[in-house]
Amino acid sequence: QVQLAESGGGSVQAGGSLRLSCAASGYIAIRYCMGWFRQAPGKEREGVATIDSDGSTSYGDSVKGRFTISQDNAKNTLYLQMNSLKPEDTAMYYCAAASSYCRRYLRPPAMREGDFRYWGQGTQVTVSS
């Protein structure tokens, strides 16, 4: 069983930055795909970015060039550095893990919440104009 816990959300003005963290505990499979999703009120959960166990990354078009996903394997922690934030980035952000390497269907834009087995509780990000 894997437990995930996000932190680092908050309120920021447009153009600002935030860094989200996701601490993982429990059994971590050797091959896995870690990802960030977000969900705005009234909208479906959207895949934001993924990182494979070999460090390869993928991003959704809406965040490419602004967000960076990374991981610290020694600390079992996943990060999402968010720069140049926009009001449309306002959402609850979730980290998730799939017990597989990041196959194409697990990466943006195809990634779906149903394909990720483990989830954190979410952290709110609010960007004001």
What is the structure's pLDDT at 1? 78
The sign of the dihedral angle between the CA atoms of 115, 116, 122, 127 is negative
User: What element of type H or E holds 128?
Assistant: strand 123-128
First to last CA, the chain: 40
**The pLDDT of residue 53:** 86
* Confidence category of residue 31, pLDDT binned at 50, 70, 90: low
Can you give the pLDDT at residue 19?
A: 98
Q: What average pLDDT is seen over the chain?
A: 94
The span from the CA of 92 to the CA of 126, in Å, is 9
pLDDT at 28: 65
Q: For 45-78, what is each residue's pLDDT tens digit?
A: 999 999 998 899 999 999 999 999 999 988 999 9
